[in-house]
């Protein structure tokens, strides 16, 4: 056995020190694993939100496209109505408001 001048067993003290280090490392590892899990959950939530937002964007693009088609059709109908009947465009618009 290794003893210092005070009479302590240095090898036993060293093993205790190593054991404490292992416990500290285990606590840190547990803490990091918990943080990792939180980050993974957060990433999954963000990914879900991103997909939902992309879906909403696609819906809005479709609605814009539909409205543009409807506007173009109404413009054609208006031009046809003003051309056929001889009304001027401004008076037709004013009467529909």
Number of domains making up the chain: 1
> Where do runs of H (alpha helix) occur along 1-97?
10-85, 89-96
The answer to the question of residue 48 being in a domain is yes
The answer to the question of residue 17 being in a domain is yes
Q: Which residues span the domain enclosing 33?
A: 10-96
The model's pTM is 0.55
Count CA atoms closer than 13 A to 14's CA, side-chain side: 7
pLDDT of residue 12: 85
Residue 7 or residue 24, greater confidence: 24
The answer to the question of residue 70 being in a domain is yes
Measured CA to CA, the distance from residue 60 to residue 66 in angstroms comes to 10
The answer to the question of residue 50 being in a domain is yes
Q: Is the pLDDT of residue 9 over 90?
A: no
């Amino acid at each position: 056995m290794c003893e210092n001048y005070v009479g302590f067993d240095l090898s036993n003290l060293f093993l205790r020190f190593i054991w404490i280090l292992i416990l500290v490392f285990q606590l840190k590892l547990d803490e990091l694993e918990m943080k990792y899990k939180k980050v993974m959950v957060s990433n999954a939530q963000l990914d879900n939100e991103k997909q939902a937002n992309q879906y909403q964007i696609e819906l809005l693009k479709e609605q814009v496209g539909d409205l543009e088609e409807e506007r173009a059709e109404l413009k054609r109908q208006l031009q046809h109505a003003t051309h056929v009947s001889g009304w001027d465009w401004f008076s037709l618009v004013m009467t529909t408001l």
